[in-house]
Structure 1
Amino acid sequence: MSSTIPKQDLPPAGGFQPLRYKRNLPTKGPGGAVIFGACLAVCTFGFWRVGQGNLEKRELQREKAWSRIHLVPALMAENDRDVYRREQAALAREKEIMKDVKDWEAGAKAYHTKRYVPATIAVI
Structure 2
Amino acid sequence: MSYRQDLPPAGGFESVKYKRNLPLRGPGALVILGGVSAVCAFGFWRIGSGNVERRELKRETTWARIHLVPLLLAEGDRAAYREGLRVAAIEAEIMRDVKGWVPRQDVYNNPRYRSPDGL
| Same structural fold, with TM-score higher than 0.5 when normalized by the shorter chain | yes
Matched, 1:109 2:106: yes
Any idea what the Cα deviations from partners look like across 1:6-52, whole Å, max 9, x if unmatched? xxxxxxxxxxxx98654332221111111111111111111111111
What is the rounded CA distance, in whole Å, between the counterparts of 2:59 and 2:111 in structure 1?
Answer: 41
Give identity over the alignment, percent.
53
Q: Normalized against structure 1, the TM-score is what?
A: 0.73
What is the rounded CA distance, in whole Å, between the counterparts of 1:23 and 1:81 in structure 2?
Answer: 89
Q: Normalized against structure 2, the TM-score is what?
A: 0.76
What is the aligned partner in structure 1 of residue 92 from structure 2?
A: 95
Letter in 1 for 2:33: F
| Residue 118 of structure 1, CA deviation | 4.3
| Residue 90 of structure 1, CA deviation | 1.1
Among residues 40, 46, 49, which one is paired with 1:49 in the alignment?
A: 46
Letter in 2 for 1:78: E
Aligned length: 104
For residue 39 of structure 2, give the secondary structure of its aligned residue in structure 1. helix
RMSD across aligned C-alpha pairs, in angstroms? 2.1
Larger Rg: 1
Structure 1 unaligned spans of 5+: 1-17
Any idea what the Cα deviations from partners look like across 1:33-89, whole Å, max 9, x if unmatched? 111111111111111111111111111111111111111111110000000111111
Structure 2 unaligned spans of 5+: 1-14
Q: Which has the higher contact order (CA 8 A, sep 6+)?
A: 2
Distance 1:120 1:27, change over 3 A: closer
What is the rounded CA distance, in whole Å, between the counterparts of 2:104 and 2:79 in structure 1?
Answer: 18
Written as runs of structure 1 = structure 2, the 5 A alignment for 1:57-76 is 57-76=54-73
Among residues 24, 29, 32, which one is paired with 2:29 in the alignment?
A: 32
